[in-house]
Amino acid sequence: MKTILFINGPNLNMLGVREPEIYGTTTLPEIERIVAEEAQVYKMKIVAFQSNHEGAIIDFIQESYRGADGIVINPGAFTHYSYAIRDCITGTDLKTVEVHISDINNREEWRKKSVLSDICAGVISGQGVEGYVRALDYFKDD
């Protein structure tokens, strides 16, 4: 059974409350449940983690990557400037998929730049909660 690290960055713990017109009303625990159920269909398990702190995300990846087969990450605002998370992911050699609930390319100018996307196997943006589920497709046939 494959293990996928399912990482969500800053403010994603506020899903369901934070700007529902942009991010919807589904909470992060609900998303984790949906993704975990879909992962079981693919004979995968997810290990979910959320933090508002860059170092905590790095620590989680470094502590967990040896037992993992891939990463699905919504880095939140870290998308745009965290070279530290980028270096950490690169150091694991794990296939990684970047996910964004909203379409970051059709929002504020500063959101359009990702320092992670070029090291990822794929980027899913603007698909809402479904984007997280679609990210699992990248790991089905490995």
Q: How far is CA 60 from CA 26, 54, 130, in A?
A: 24, 10, 24
HSE-CB at 16 with a 13 A cutoff on CA atoms is 8
Does 23 qualify as catalytic in the annotation? yes
* Residue of 53, 80, 81, 100 marked catalytic: 100
* Residue of 23, 65, 132, 138 marked catalytic: 23
| 3-state SS assignment for residue 104 | helix
Does 53 qualify as catalytic in the annotation? no
Specify the amino acid at residue 121.
A
| 3-state SS assignment for residue 34 | helix
Angle subtended at Cα 132 by Cα 124 and Cα 3, rounded to the nearest 5 degrees: 115
Active-site positions read 23, 100
